[in-house]
Amino acid sequence: MKREPRWMFVAYSTVLGLIVGAAAWIGGERLFAVLAVAILFVFGLVVSVTPFGTLKASSQDEREKAVGSEAALISYYVLIVVILIGWVVELARGNSGEPYVWLAAIGGATYGGALFVLNARR
């Protein structure tokens, strides 16, 4: 498997920053627009030149893969808790909590789909 050049991650994060910045600029948030571009550009630089950049490498050893999987699992659990807390808070405020329901549904469907695909591949 061919590995992407390190500068590609900088390009990806900069394009994302430009998209977020354009949306913020259109929404009237000029300072946030400029900060979004700058922060995502610097983030791309930092990740591409540090050991964190190796997490996306195709030549990972078993330890790096295990660390990446565990980090993804922890972030998944934290996201579940945050979505559930947001949903409960919205219900307590008298709202439907619908955005949180959609996030939970998408997360659950993605998890189920990933289980199906990964089990079918092995």
Q: How far apart are CA 54 and CA 47, in angstroms?
A: 9
Amino acid at site 13 = S
pTM exceeding the 0.95 threshold for the entire prediction:
no
Q: How many residues does the chain have?
A: 122
Q: How far apart are CA 56 and CA 53, in angstroms?
A: 6
Tens digits of residue pLDDT in 5-37: 777 888 999 999 999 999 999 999 999 999 999
Tens digits of residue pLDDT in 65-119: 788 888 888 988 999 999 999 999 999 999 988 999 999 999 989 989 988 998 9
Q: How far apart are CA 20 and CA 16, in angstroms?
A: 6
Instruction: Say whether 12 sits in a helix, a strand or coil.
Output: helix
Nearest to 20 by CA among 38, 36, 41: 36
Phi, psi of 108 (to 5 degrees): -65, -40
